[in-house]
């Protein structure tokens, strides 16, 4: 498997706080990669650094072999690298289907027939993706009336509208009823296998990430503490110490 994302020695400071300290890790094309670490270890900051949400202080982010560190968030998204957030970002006062429509990538050509064809294609994609996450029957309801778990599924479907190659998910199962988590894990795995989306997932729930990820990196105090298969990381005494020390 070739490298899709190659993070090389990325450092990000906020004033005196070194949120990411020379972090190096990679994500291979086609895999589900995991990112774990105690609260404040720098996981969300790293996602922001990767997608161009803020400038980094040192290092480089390579995507498809090209340095994207100096690119802006929209430019990076156009290349197929996007993220979701810890807090769901749906429009609660809009119907579910409209949330999907506004998530379609812009059609820049401006030529009317092309525009119409793209519009029909994205309408079909919106419906297919709602079926994929099990929300098609709810398409005309206000998004704000969905349960929290359903809102997370909607947000995931919205992220898939732009046909990302690499999707960064920030705690996709946070706040979801444990009985619904298995359904979400199943959707993430299917998106990876059937839609061919490479996933990089921040997750606090150890059961989830061990079940989901092919490889896991653990951060602590802004640095890479350990990386490997779920079994290797689970049994690494440094990882156990980092979590116990953070209690
Ligand atoms: N915009 C910011 N301004 C100042 N400090 C920040 C900012 N964003 C993050 N930090 C600090 O950087 C460090 C890493 O934070 P970050 O949110 O990346 O950690 P995390 O591993 O994602 O935590 P959590 O698991 O709680 O979401 C923390 O010390 C945090 O307080």
User: How many residues in the chain?
Assistant: 247
Give the separation between CA 152 and CA 136, rounded to whole angstroms.
14
pLDDT at residue 103, rounded to an integer: 87
Q: What are the pLDDT digits (tens) for 170-197?
A: 999 888 888 888 888 999 999 999 999 9
Task: From the CA of 44, give the closest atom in ligand 1.
Answer: 22
Instruction: Enumerate the domain spans of the chain.
Output: 1-80+164-247, 89-162
Pick the residue whose CA is nearest to atom 4 on ligand 1: 14
The b-or-e profile of 212-224 (16+ CB within 10 A means b, else e) is: bbbbbbbbbebbb
Q: What is the pTM of this model?
A: 0.91
ipTM, interface predicted TM-score of the complex: 0.96
Q: What is the best residue among 7, 11, 14 to mutate for testing ligand 1's pocket, by most ligand atoms within 8 Å of CB?
A: 14
User: Candidates 3.40.50.300, 2.30.30.140, 3.20.20.140, 3.90.550.10; correct CATH number of 1-80+164-247?
Assistant: 3.40.50.300
Contact assessment for residue 224 and residue 218, using Cβ atoms and an 8 Å cutoff: yes
Q: Work out the pLDDT band at 108, boundaries 50, 70, 90.
A: very low
pLDDT at residue 113, rounded to an integer: 54
Q: List all residues 6 or more positions away from 113 whose beta carbon is below 8 Å from its beta carbon.
A: none
Structure tokens at 156: 């995931």
Give the separation between CA 233 and CA 210, rounded to whole angstroms.
9
- Greater confidence, 84 or 215? 215
Half-sphere CA count of 103, side-chain side, radius 13 A: 29
Which residues are near ligand 1 (CB < 6 Å)?
14, 17, 19, 37, 39-45
pLDDT at 110 over 60: no
């Amino acid at each position: 498997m070739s490298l899709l994302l190659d993070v090389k020695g990325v450092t990000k400071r906020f004033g005196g706080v070194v949120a990411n300290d020379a972090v190096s890790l990679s994500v291979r094309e086609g895999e589900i990669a995991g990112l774990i670490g105690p609260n404040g270890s720098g996981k969300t900051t790293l996602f922001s650094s990767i997608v161009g949400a803020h400038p980094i202080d040192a290092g480089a982010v390579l995507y498809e072999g090209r340095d994207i560190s100096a690119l802006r968030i929209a430019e990076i998204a156009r290349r197929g690298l996007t993220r979701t957030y810890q807090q769901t970002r749906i429009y609660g006062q809009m119907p579910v289907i409209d949330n999907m429509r506004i998530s379609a990538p812009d059609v820049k050509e401006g030529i009317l027939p092309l525009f119409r064809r793209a519009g029909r294609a994205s309408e079909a994609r919106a419906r297919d993706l709602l079926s994929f996450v099990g929300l098609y029957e709810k398409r005309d309801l206000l998004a704000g009336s969905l349960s929290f778990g359903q809102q997370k599924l909607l947000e995931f479907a919205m992220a898939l509208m732009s046909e990302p190659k690499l999707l960064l998910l920030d705690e996709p199962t946070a706040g979801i009823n444990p009985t619904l988590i298995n359904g979400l894990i199943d959707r993430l795995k299917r998106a990876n296998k059937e839609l061919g989306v490479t996933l990089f997932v921040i997750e606090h729930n150890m059961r989830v990430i061990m079940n989901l990820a092919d490889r896991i990196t653990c951060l602590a105090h802004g640095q890479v503490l350990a990386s490997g298969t779920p079994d290797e990381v689970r049994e690494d005494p440094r990882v156990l110490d980092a979590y116990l020390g953070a209690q």
